[in-house]
Amino acid sequence: MNEKWKRKIAQKALLALLYEVSASPKPGLVDRFNQGAHKDMDFFTFMDSSAALSNYFNDCVEEGVKFVGQHPKELFQSLRLLGIEAEKAMFEATGNVNTHKGLIFSLGIICAAASCCMSELNVEYLNTTIICEQVVRMTEGLSLRELTSLNKNEGLTNGERLYKKYGLKGIRGEVENGFPTVQKYSLPVFKKLKSEKTLQINDILVQTLLHLMAVNEDTNIVARHNLETLEYVQQYTKKVLDAGGALTERGLEMVYDMDKEFIRKNISPGGSADLLAVTVMFDFLSSK
């Protein structure tokens, strides 16, 4: 695999982070307009974090190339140490604020899976299905290992706590199943809107986010609140989409109202925001 291809994958991962945070307005989330339902971070915190992760994505790409022909699970294991170092770099850049922990996990895996598959197939662009199949092979049994067999009751992470309480697998479940929410819902919407060639990328991103919020089992929302709040967010978002979402004047007014409401109620659909970045990354990797 040539150096240009490797650089391209890592650059696209960084760009996916920047596209996600730049999309505005995003209800309850940090964007160019406000901090959303977050007191400890803003748009520039995300810039700092994104810059700190650029080397990490390069390292994940290199790992993918290195493990061509080996068992995908071994590639996944090799990413763990890189992920730990990336989290340290993020916290150092942000003053101990968690901006991108979920995307360190998911985009790191995608970078490695993509570079491994591109090297094996000697291609510059990849169908998303091929990457996702590799991700599934890499992370097989992840939830079983890390959640289902969980014996501890104290010192639980949010993901562990939500699995014990509600059976939600969060990003682990999404990853080990090959990002089904992205493949089924957000990526087709994103590609369709892009193909129309009449819309601004910002509006496409916001509209895609709304489609994710309407269906995603967002553990960020549940961690802050409960399942009832998640249901409220999904139903509210469906009403906004029925009005046209970010693509109509009335729908956009509703998005702004939703943002104010989510800020007031301390609701942050951060899981859906992460899947928006994943959607963008898959589009980058599959588009010529």
What's the confidence (pLDDT) of residue 278? 98
What 8-state DSSP symbol labels residue 100?
S
The helix/strand/coil state of 67 is coil
The mean pLDDT of 33-43, rounded to a whole number, is: 97
CA angle 260, 209, 161 (to 5 degrees): 80
CB-based contact 266:36 (threshold 8 Å): no
With the C-alpha atoms ordered 130, 149, 277, 93, is the resulting torsion angle positive or negative? negative
> Please, what is the average pLDDT of the chain?
95
Confidence of residue 56 (pLDDT cuts 50, 70, 90): very high
Q: Tell the residue number behind the tokens 């697998």, with chain if given.
A: 169
Looking at residue 179, the DSSP 8-state letter turns out to be -
Q: Which amino acid type is present at position 213?
A: M
pLDDT in tens, 134-188: 999 999 998 878 776 556 666 677 777 888 888 888 899 999 999 999 999 999 9
- What is residue 154's predicted lDDT score, i.e. its pLDDT? 62
Residue 244: phi, psi to the nearest 5? 110, -10
Find out whether 226 and 233 touch, Cβ atoms under 8 Å. Answer: no
The 8-class DSSP code of residue 184 comes to I
What's the whole-number mean pLDDT along residues 53-71?
96
124 or 164, greater pLDDT: 124
Region at 22 (left for phi over 0; alpha for psi -120 to 50; beta for the rest)? alpha
- Write down the pLDDT at residue 4: 87
Instruction: Report d(CA 45, CA 285) in Å as an integer.
Output: 26
Tell me the per-residue pLDDT of 215-272, one tens digit each, with 9 for 90 and over: 999 999 999 999 999 999 999 999 999 999 999 999 999 999 999 999 999 999 999 9
How long, in residues, is the chain?
288
**Spatial CA neighbour of 163 closest among 171, 184, 12:** 171
